[in-house]
Structure formats: C-alpha cells, structure tokens
Structure 1
C-alpha cells in the first residue's frame, strides 16, 4: 500500500522567496547542503542531495505551488514516482509551506517524513533566518 506524508512549516520570508529558492540550483544546494541541479520549468528534470533525489516538475503556479514527480535511489526499480505537492501562502508576515508527499512506496513514509524535517525544514530555517 502506498504511503503519504503531510507536513507544514513557517518561514520568516515572503512566499516568492521560498518558492524561488526551491527551484534555484544554487539556493537549493545552499539550504540543504547537498548538490542540487534543477531545470526550473514544467517538464524540467531535477536532482537533489547529490542525485539521491531525482524527478521532474509537473506544474508550476508562481509563487503559490510546485508539483513534482519525485523519487530517491531507495525506490524499488518497479515503483512509480511519488508525487510532491508544495503549497506556499502568506502567513503571519512570512510563508506557510504545506508539503504533501503522496504515492510513497510502502514502508518508506516515516523515513521521508523525518528526512523532510531534518534535511529540508530545519536547514531552511537557518537559511531564511529564524524570526517570528
């Protein structure tokens, strides 16, 4: 059975800044600490964390939403890509990011939930600065 993860985080910058950083190879690499190569367009390929993560962008709605086909090198070869849906909205003088990661192979959801927090949300807080 496929698994899903829904997480929410707040960042002290405008939605456009978080949206742009997610799609920019240099910024994405800087906030995660792993190399990212991103073609910032619909249909564009991306890799992150030194190609541990890979996929393609399915839709863009600047600066509100990014939808990507997403997988890691840990996915079984027979597994379809999972779906990553990022929604950015203005909230309390910053950005509320809702991350919905669906269609994750069975048994991997908890690991990816932890990974999103440790390898994305926490370093993004440091990158964008902590203030509330």
Structure 2
C-alpha cells in the first residue's frame, strides 16, 4: 500500500528540514519525544519510541527519505518508507509526504500523519 499527502506551512523549507532532522526540533514540532540525526545511515526514533527507522537519503532543505516502522508492524513485515519533499515559494513550503511499502492494514497511518505531524507542525511553525 502507498499513499501521498500534501500540506503547506508558512515557513521555509530549511526550517522544516532542520527541525525534522534534529532531536530537539522534531520533539518540539510533534510533541512526542524523538531522537533524530541529520546523517545518512543513522537510526531515529519518534513519538516516544513508537516510530523507528533510518535515514536513507538526505538532500538538504529539499528531500528526506527514511525507512519507517511502528510498534504495530508485525515482526515479519518489512519497514515501510517515507519520502518528504519540500518545495518553497515566498516563505511558504509545500510538504509532500509519500509513504510506501505500508502494511495492508496501515490505512490508519494517513490520519496519524495529519493528527500527530501536520497539525502540531502547523501550531509549531505558525504560532
């Protein structure tokens, strides 16, 4: 299963990129504890350890590709993958999230991205 979500934030692509890939920034923008790095190959956790993965591709201020799984994944299920694409125009950034290799019962992650990422990020970047 794969899905694509789009949203916009009144902030720069650089600010979103740097927050997504920093422990303090990711924790503050989502409200869940995160341990994140801005280096390819490094592991990360988010939402108090519920989400785990690894940085696969990092193109500063433009693209983040990470392996991604939650505690709900079955042991025999492969990691899914997220691709975050940032496109900025006049300090407004469109974030496109492509979530692929999602387990068949993973449709609830669509709502999870909205509630646990996009909504708190709007509050964080647009106080």
Same fold (TM over 0.5): yes
Pairs within 5 Å for 1:14-93: 14-93=12-91
Q: Which residue of 1 aligns with 2:115?
A: 118
Runs of 4+ residues over 3 Å off in structure 1:
none
Q: Give the drift of 1:87.
A: 0.2
Q: Structure 1 residues 92-101 or 61-70, which shifts more?
A: 92-101
SS at match of 1:101: strand
**Structure 1: runs of 5 or more not aligned:** none
Q: Which residue of 1 aligns with 2:124?
A: 127
Normalised by the size of structure 1, how large is the TM-score? Answer: 0.93
**Structure 2: runs of 5 or more not aligned:** none
SS at match of 1:37: coil
RMSD (Å) for aligned C-alpha atoms: 1.0
Q: Give the drift of 1:92.
A: 4.8
| Residue correspondences, number | 127
Normalised by the size of structure 2, how large is the TM-score? Answer: 0.97
